[in-house]
Amino acid sequence: MEAYIMDEKIDYDGSQISSLWAYSAFGIQSDSIVAFRGACDVVPDHMIDLEDLRQNESIESPDMLHFIVEHFDSTDLKLVYARQRLFTTIFASVLADEGIEVGRDGDDLFVNGKKLSISIASTSAISQKIHFGVNVTHDFYGNLKEAGMSEERAINLLDIVSEKYAFEMEDIEADLRKSRQLGVF
């Protein structure tokens, strides 16, 4: 799995969750996690969560850390949701290591009782995709600045979390190649 951390800011509008975005934008043809910082304003045409769309919810933030994950080994929706939960748990663990107490409910993280993150997972005919975003700053929702994290340290999370997720995926792949099937003795 390739981890690619962008140096420049780009805004997330929901189009980045489309299949092959990492390939079309950066030439990455393998399983990948692309991380970047930028604002968030998901337009209705790119909303994946039908509940948000039906309730006319807005998904926006002035400043977030974004992670776009793509896997090509399956189009199983249950598997991508399990991977999304693993990613959320990894992020929560990294924040705990930083001394920030977070709560988790499914794929959402909370700090000081306020929602800190957004996330969606889905599949296409060729891949699984995950978007996970965390507020660096926000006037209403939870954010890393209010939780006591400096801007510099928040930016470092792009690398730290991406590498931890990539490691978990590679470690799972290694385990698959050392385990024999049940009943084969």
The domain that contains 92 carries what CATH number? 3.30.930.10
Higher pLDDT, 3 or 46: 3
Give the Cβ contact number of residue 52 at 10 Å.
Answer: 16
pLDDT digits (tens, 9 = 90+) for 5-20: 999 999 999 999 999 9
Domain that residue 39 falls in: 2-171
Higher pLDDT, 89 or 53: 89
Q: Identify whether 120 is part of a domain.
A: yes
Average the pLDDT over 150-174 and give the result: 97
Q: Identify whether 25 is part of a domain.
A: yes
pTM for the complete prediction?
0.95
Q: Identify whether 176 is part of a domain.
A: no
Q: Are 121 and 76 in contact (CB under 8 A)?
A: no
Q: Structurally, how many domains does the chain consist of? A: 1
Q: Identify whether 182 is part of a domain.
A: no
d(CA 155, CA 157): 5
Nearest Cα residue to 137 out of 61, 45, 37: 61
Q: 67 forms bridges with which residues in the sheet?
A: 35, 132
